[in-house]
Every structure is written in structure tokens, then in C-alpha cells.
Amino acid sequence: MAAEDIMITVLPELSGRSRSSKKNERDNFKRSPTAFWKVMKHVFSLQVYKVLVRNGDKSWFLFRRYNEFYGLHEKIKKLYPESNLRLPGKKIFGNLDPDFIQQRRDGLDDFIQKLVTHPKISQNPEVRAFLTLDNPRNAQEPVDTDTFEDSDTMDRKDTNPVNLGPSERTCVKPSDFEFLKVIGKGSFGKVLLARHKLEGNIYAIKVLQKQAIMKRNEAKHIMAERNVLLKNIKHPFLVGLHYSFQTADKLYFVLDYVNGGELFFHLQRERYFPEQRARFYAAEMGSAIGYLHSLNIIYRDLKPENILLDSKGHITLTDFGLCKEGIEGMGTTNTFCGTPEYLAPEVLRKQPYDKTVDWWCLGAVLYEMMYGLPPFYSRDTAEMYDNILYKPLRLRTNVSAAARSILEGLLQKEKEKRLGCQQDFMEVKSHDFFVDVNWDELDEKKMKPPYNPNVSGQLDLKHFDPEFVREPVPASVGKSMGTSKLVSASVMEADSMFQGFSYVPPAEDAFS
């Protein structure tokens, strides 16, 4: 049986039969209440809940059916009638309803939290046995809470060996890093500057709160970002992932540290860029997007905030949470997502769209770099959407004819006529605007960037928002166990959503 938060298995006697035989069985249930209650009792017994138990710096998973919670509750009521502990009641009809399942999980979690925090009940032998607190293996062999495998065991040992290069250790965890500064914030967490304690390497670590992700139903986007990052690790203009791992309440992306500042930061300061500089950045962006397209990935969120400069002035594309994987050839998708200023017309029309949405975004960013604002910008979002859909593109003559031509091609409202609609990146890179770009040298970073951020070293934070840098580093991000309690326990929900999140590089790639 798979180790999930709640496991409901189809009854063997009801599976693999014809529709008519199942109808007969349902009719039998109507005629025979005893048969119905017997089957439903069996369904109850197949609901299994995963419980995370922490004891000091040790932790482990155990698996309990509802009836086991119920049996413990009955004993506690008799022994401690004054405790008034409550357990979610039994329910037959609607038992498989998702809302009921969520309510029951929450109720069980509340029940078990009260068990371990009650000074008397927490010391009861029945409770300690239920949580396997006195199992000597649990005292000596902590389970890695970052990953789990299918298992029915209560005392699972997870060795998960990882080769981290010259100084080999058995796992990657938050306490391996010294968290130095906050350098960014997002919807689900923060980005922190961190140093690996043993290797001394500097990283940017994105720390995300699982609870916030689940509340907004964004787990799929986070896993998509992790998947895309794994494919990016060798491309010169895409941020590289070194590790991903998780604790009970947080996800960690250990990423390349890039400290030349956001393109957005530089645009705000300088208002617009000379055409030569805009062309250089657009070429590197185009190379990155073309690479993603070759992997059947649509980026969908190209904007100055997601484009970083490295210490030499080359661009680094980051934030892959809106990427769509598996779009082959002229394949389409239809999810409405992106950033308002850069949405393509077909996205606003809620029509199926393809990889050409990324070329629209490239056109919008190129326009902004040369003119100072996105092409159809308005403070009124509704008016801006109307402009994107219907307003003709107007180009001032302070840029070259080739620049105006590529903007007209990329910002074509009909995707079937847009530059890149036929041959994707090959079509874009062949435009006259890029005639002086040596693409091989560009991808090898042999072309000299037109601007140098002039950072003094890895810890130079002058291109980061001072508001972030002044923030204190949360103490919890560096703890491998997300609790200060001596003993705690919770009915888990998050891990099944993030199964497979953890990643470490092959030995030859470690700290390369």
C-alpha cells in the first residue's frame, strides 16, 4: 500500500468486474443493509494517516488507521475524563468526500497535538506506544523527513546517501548552510544569501513555506519549477540548481548566486538602455528561451524582475514557477497566467497558445529596454488589456529601422504572423537586428557585456534592495527540524504533494 497521507484502496471484490455485475452488487446493498455496512466498515479500515513525530532532534513517520486513533481516544477518555479531548466522529455517508477527508485530517492533527502537549497524557504508556516514543531505534536512528518511500513500517530508516564532492556527507539539510542575508522576497517565502559551511561556496537559497503553497494550491507550479531547474543546470543564461530539499514545513532551492542586480533595478535607475545594450540582453534572453523551447518548455513569465545580471554583466533568467512543460512542436496550452504588462493577446482572449507567447514577451521587454515602459502600458489594468488587444503598436524613430522591424515582428497581435511562429528561435536569431551577434561566442560568454555591475566580491550587495538586506535572517531557516518542542507530532499533508522534490547533483557535478 502506497505511503500517502490518506490511502483509500479499491476493494478487491469490487474491482475488475463488469458494469452490470457492479450494478447487481449495488442492488444487493440496497436489499441487504448488513452487506452495505460490512463493506463500508472495510473502507474505513483502509484509510491510513501518516503521522510525523519529533522527539528533540530525532524524527520519524508512523502510519495509523482511524480506528487506531479511535481506540486510543476511548482509553484516554476513561483514564483522563477531565481532559475533554475530542476526536472527529465516524461517518459513513460522504466518507470519501474531499471536504470530509480534510476536516478529519485537521481534527486528527488537533487531537494528536493536544496529546503530546498535555503534561500528564503525554507520559501515558498507551500514548507513548502509539507514537513509538520508547522505541530504541527511534532514539538512535532519526528518519530523514525530507523524503519518504512507500512503506508500512513505523520505524523507517532513511539513509539517502549523497556524494557532495571532496567532503562526503550522508544528506543535505538546512544546518549545512550559514544563512547570511535576506536578498529577496516572494509570495511563498524568501531568498537568502548563504554559505555552505564545509565547502565555503556562496549560494542563493530560496526558502518556501509549504503551508502557503498549499493554501494557494500552487504545489504543481513549485514542482514544475524544480523540474525545469534540473534541465537548466548547464545553460549559461539560466540559473542553475545545485540542490533541492525539504523539511517538514519548508522547501529549499539552492541556486546560483547572482549579484549584479535585477534588470528591473537597472531600468528603474537608468530609465532606458542604449540600443546596443538592449540588443545584447535580448540576444542572451533569446538564447535562454530558445533552449527552453528545445526542451518543450514554455517560459511564460519573461519580465525585467525575472532577469538578473551576474557579476560580469551577463543575464541570468530565473523564476520558473509559471513554466509549462511537455509542449512539443506546435502544441498549445490554455492556462491564464503571466504578468499583466507582458501578456500576449491570445492569453488575454483565453485562447489556446503556444511557444510564441515567449516571443511576444521578449518583444515587450525589448521595447521596455529601449523606450522605458512596456509597449501598451497603462496604470489602469483594464485599459492596458484593451491596449494589448486592440491598440496599434507605435514606435518612435529614435531607434534603428532593424530595431523597429523586430519589435513589429515580435509584438504582432496575431500569433500566426508573429516572428518565431515558423522556426522558433532560429527565425528570431536570424533577424537583421541581431546581424552583428556571433551566437557561438555569445553562448560561450565570450562577447563582452556592454555594462559591468562593478561588484567588489560575492558579498557585495549594493545591487539588492536595501529593504530586504536590512531584514533579520529568520532563525528557523537554518534548522533541520522545524520545531523547538521536545516532543511534537502532526498528521501530515504536505509531503505527498512534494514527493520527488529533493535533488542533489551527480558526484561529478557537485560544487562545479
Helix residue ranges per DSSP H, 131-167: 136-140
The contacts of residue 398 (CB under 8 Å, 6+ apart) are none
Give yes or no for a contact between 211 and 189, defined as CB atoms under 8 angstroms apart.
no
Q: Is 181 annotated as a binding residue?
A: no
Backbone angles phi, psi at 194, to 5 degrees: -145, 150
Give yes or no for a contact between 169 and 176, defined as CB atoms under 8 angstroms apart.
yes
**Secondary structure E strands in 89-139:** none
Q: CB 317: neighbour CB atoms within 10 A? A: 23
Half-sphere exposure of 340 (CA within 13 A, CB side): 12
Q: CB 27: neighbour CB atoms within 10 A? A: 10
Helix/strand/coil for 252: strand
Active-site residue, 144 included: no
Beta bridge partners of 316: 308
Q: How far apart are the first and last CA of the chain?
A: 40
Give yes or no for a contact between 191 and 305, defined as CB atoms under 8 angstroms apart.
no
Residue 332 burial by Cβ neighbours in a 10 Å radius (0-12, 13-18, 19+): middle
The contacts of residue 123 (CB under 8 Å, 6+ apart) are none
377-381 LR contacts (CB < 8 Å, sep 24+): 377/341, 381/340
Instruction: Give the H/E segment covering residue 208.
Output: strand 202-209
- How far is the C-alpha of 407 from the C-alpha of 367, rounded, in Å? 7
Q: Which of 301, 319, 358, 424 is catalytic?
A: 301
- How far is the C-alpha of 463 from the C-alpha of 144, rounded, in Å? 37
Buried b (16+ CB within 10 A) or exposed e, 212-224: ebbeeebbebbbb
The contacts of residue 272 (CB under 8 Å, 6+ apart) are 368, 369, 370, 371, 372
Cell digits for 410? 515580435
For the annotated binding site, the residues are 215
For the annotated binding site for ATP, the residues are 215
* Residues classed as catalytic: 301
